[in-house]
Amino acid sequence: MKKLYFVSMSGGKDSTATAIYMLKHYPRNKLRFIFADTGWEHPKTYEYIKYLEKRLKIRIFTVKSKKYNNMEDLCIAKKMFPNRVKKFCTTELKIIPIMELYTRYKDKVIELYQLLVLELMKVKKEKAKIFGKQTLLMHQNLDNGKN
């Protein structure tokens, strides 16, 4: 079984730092970089994702929600805007699309970095339960994983 490491890329400093760390400590052929497009990103975010691909010499795969076209579509369906209590946008537009991709490769993927380290911590514990035991099994301290 080929071990793959999925690295979630948001276009921010934390995911960029995680990508650089992973590129320094893991073989490139075992890394897969993923960008969850909410359809509501600032144009500079899209530019930065393309810049990272060129600068780091990587391919960043884009995933989107199958249920909602974009943030506007999600807000209309929910009949509200996300807020500090109802953080459904992260779950619906980022976590679920990445988890759907992960599920297709779950026999090959050993780790899903960044998504769980940063995004999942923002979601209430009961929301995390929708992914069951996989969520717990995927998280591993970056320093413990070696090739």
Q: Is 110 helix (H, G, I), strand (E, B) or coil?
A: strand
For position 126, what pLDDT does the model report?
A: 38
For the chain, the structural domain boundaries read: 4-138
Check if the beta carbon of residue 128 is closer than 8 Å to that of residue 99.
Answer: no
pLDDT in tens, 29-42: 988 899 999 988 99
pLDDT in tens, 47-95: 999 999 999 999 999 999 999 988 888 888 888 888 878 878 788 888 8
Q: How far apart are CA 110 and CA 54, in angstroms?
A: 26
To 5 degrees, how large is the angle CA 30–CA 128–CA 89? 90
Q: Tell me the average pLDDT across 6-19.
A: 87
For position 113, what pLDDT does the model report?
A: 53
pTM over 0.75: no
The CA distances from residue 15 to 35, 66, 114, 132, 145, in Å, are 10, 23, 6, 24, 18
The CATH code that applies to domain 4-138 is 3.40.50.620
Reply yes or no on whether the pLDDT at 130 is more than 70: no
Structure tokens, 100: 């759907």
For position 138, what pLDDT does the model report?
A: 37
